[in-house]
Structure 1
Amino acid sequence: MGHSEETSEETEVKKMDILKDFQASFFSMSRLPSFPWTFLEKDLQSNKSSEFISDILKQTCLHSLCRKFPPSVRYRRLFLSELIRREAAGCDPLDELYDALAEVVGAEDTTECYKSYLLPCGDAVSLMENVALISEGTTGLVTWEAALYLAEWALDHQQVFTGRTVLELGSGVGLTGITVCRSCSPSRFVFSDCHPSVLQKLRANVQLNGLSEQATPAVRVEELDWTEVTEEQLKRIGADTVIAADVVYDPDIVGSLVKLLSKVLRCSPSPEVLICSTIRNPETYGGFKQQLGNAGISHHVISGPVSHVFPYNRLSSIEMIKLHT
């Protein structure tokens, strides 16, 4: 008897984990095939009840986060249709499921939608994106895996950021930096990029997540052109920790990145410089490392597992290096 009680407890724990998976995948607009559907199907077969589907709905489309920062209308429509398809095969129809679908079937897709990444503290990093970049329930911004990996690494190594001034190069839409600001208690954080449209989106996302120069940490968004940045500018920022994710993808900009990194290492007394890359083109990445060496910058690879916090494709080849002179 004790054993069967234990198994039902285990099942409950498993259910809670699966619900969290559904929630995290839904809010980050992960590809639908990556959801844990098999568990749901088994549950429907054994229980013939729509209770678990109702729980999934509460953690996704009916959750307060979805009211505030909704994924795209199209994505919610696809997700609910998928839930209905599974439910139809296994149990009686659930009214609230059809009500939720009716809400998005009639809705017009807006030009912007939100992706939210759930943090271990129960908080979420919500990012505004253009729907135009999204197709088949996934985003065209494939530059994110290294940003997600770096954010997970930061959550595991908060001491690298706590009480420090952090500069992020090529912040993009802001995921890594916002995660660091929310979870790692830096004293100051400077987001940077150089494309006007990216900077605009970045500023909006920083604001959306309640970060500002007046708050703690003190946060700024700066335009930083790698070809024109001066040592004075870098000294003024005075970063103790410098991070960058997915900045080594274009052979044409590697030279200016290496020059910038040389200035960074000269300007601050022994800053911690961490570069995280998805290796799409080994030749480009190898060229970057070679140019670092030519500039008198050595590096070592930071290995070891990171906690799995965010849903993303972990089959990608991601490498993180620490630089020093």
Structure 2
Amino acid sequence: MTQVQHPENSGNHVPIVEWLLPSPNICEKKFEFCGHLLNISRYFGGNLGFAASIWESALVLCQYFEQEKIDFSGRKVIELGSGTGIVGILAVLLGGDVTMTDQENALSQIEHNVSTNIPSASRHRSKVCALSWGKDHMKFPTDYDVILGSDIVYASLAYPLLLKTLLHLSNEPTIIYLCSKLREGNQSSRFHEKLLPQHFNCQLVHRVEDKDINVYKISKLSATTRDDPLM
């Protein structure tokens, strides 16, 4: 049974039931980004839903880090909706102090991939925590240097909760990288073009045209700008 840390390195641990079914199917796939070979396991049959997939947006975000030679050294990072953990794991390997978050039933999958891909000497820079957007986000600090998310803009009913969480976790110097596949019917374009700009500067920095996947670099508007009715 995996032991998962609470936020803020409290030293407390909670037991996580590994899988709801006795013999989930395990699929492993290898990737290489930034000179690091990643062996990512996915668990099917464990009631993980979306978290059991490696979404194209996660791979595009990893490719963007490689393309831009992004270095997370000395940065305090949190990833939302980590799923398999591939993006957060790469951020650790690129020097970051990374907290990977998702629903509680996905944490064991992330922990397994962390233990497989992050050397023991660097594992102290990785944490895995449950985070339910808009509900327990207040348990987390507000001083992250970087926030990561890949394909987390997919359910319009969750957009207010995601916004609330991003607002809490970030401050003005925080850089947010969101990689989103734009889908018809879920208003993902509206989230990036209408909702986010009410609180954040939102810049499109990379696009994969044939897959309709965008990478956005986002930063929080100053309090003065947000409060100015003319802005």
TMscore range, shorter length? 0.7 to 0.9
CA contact under 8 A between 1:185 and 1:217: conserved in structure 2? no
Deviations 1:13-69 (A, max 9, x none): xxxxxxxxxxxxxxxxxxxxxxxxxxxxxxxxxxxxxxxxxxxxxxxxxxxxxxxxx
Aligned pair partner of 1:180 in 87, 91, 110: 91
- Structure 1 unaligned spans of 5+: 1-108, 134-138, 306-313
**Counting helix residues as a fraction of each chain, which structure ranks higher?**
1
Give the length in aligned residue pairs: 194
The answer as to 2:79 corresponding to 1:168 is yes
Query: What CA RMSD, in Å, does the superposition of the two structures yield over aligned residues?
Result: 2.9
Change (3 A) 1:229 1:185: same
Partner of residue 151 from structure 2, selected from 242, 246, 269? 246
CA offset digits 1:157-199 (Å, max 9, x no partner): 34452221111111111111112222x222x1111112x2211
Structure 1 CA distance, aligned partners of 2:186 and 2:24? 40
Q: What is the TM-score normalised by the length of structure 2?
A: 0.73
**Compared with structure 1, are the counterparts of its residues 280 and 245 closer, same or farther at alpha carbon in structure 2 (3 Å cutoff)?**
same
SS in 1 for 2:210: coil
Q: Aligned match of 1:130 in 31, 43, 48?
A: 43
Conserved 8 A contact 1:174-1:205: yes
| Equivalent of residue 292 in structure 1, options 171, 196, 209 | 196
Match of 2:62 among 151, 156, 160: 151
Structure with more strand by fraction: 2
Amino acid at match of 2:73: T
Distance 1:231 1:198 in 2: 21
Give the structure 2 partner of residue 189 of structure 1: 98
User: Does the Cα contact within 8 Å between 1:171 and 1:177 map onto a contact in 2?
Assistant: yes
Q: Secondary structure at the match of 1:248?
A: coil
Q: Matches of residues 3-22 of structure 1 in structure 2 within 5 Å?
A: none
Q: Give matches, 1:224-263, under 5 Å.
A: 224-231=131-138, 233-235=140-142, 238-263=143-168
- Structure 1 residues 218 and 193: alpha-carbon distance in aligned structure 2, compared to 1, 3 A threshold: same
TM-score (norm 1): 0.53
Tell whether the 8 Å contact from 1:192 to 1:221 is kept in structure 2 after alignment. Answer: yes
In structure 2, the residue corresponding to 1:112 is in which secondary structure? strand
Distance change >3 Å, CA 111–CA 230, structure 1 → 2: closer
Question: Does the Cα contact within 8 Å between 2:155 and 2:186 map onto a contact in 1?
Answer: no
- Provide the C-alpha distance between the structure 1 equivalents of 2:158 and 2:59, rounded to a whole number of angstroms: 22
The runs of 5 or more residues in structure 2 that have no matched partner are: 1-22, 222-231
SS in 2 for 1:299: strand
Structure 1 residue 300: deviation in Å?
Answer: 1.3
Change (3 A) 1:166 1:304: same
CA distance 1:156–1:162, shift in 2 (3 Å): farther
**Equivalent residue runs for 1:191-230 within 5 Å:** 191-194=100-103, 196-210=104-118, 215=122, 218-230=125-137
1:262-303 Cα deviation digits (max 9, x unpaired)? 2223xx351111111011226511231322234x32311113
Give, as a single letter, the amino acid of the residue that structure 1 aligns with 2:30.
Answer: S
What is the deviation of 1:216? Answer: 5.5
Whether contact under 8 Å (1:155, 1:180) holds in the other structure is: no
Distance in 1, Cα, partners of 2:138 & 2:44: 38
Q: What code does the residue aligned with 1:318 have?
A: I
Q: Distance in 2 between matches of 1:160 and 1:284?
A: 32
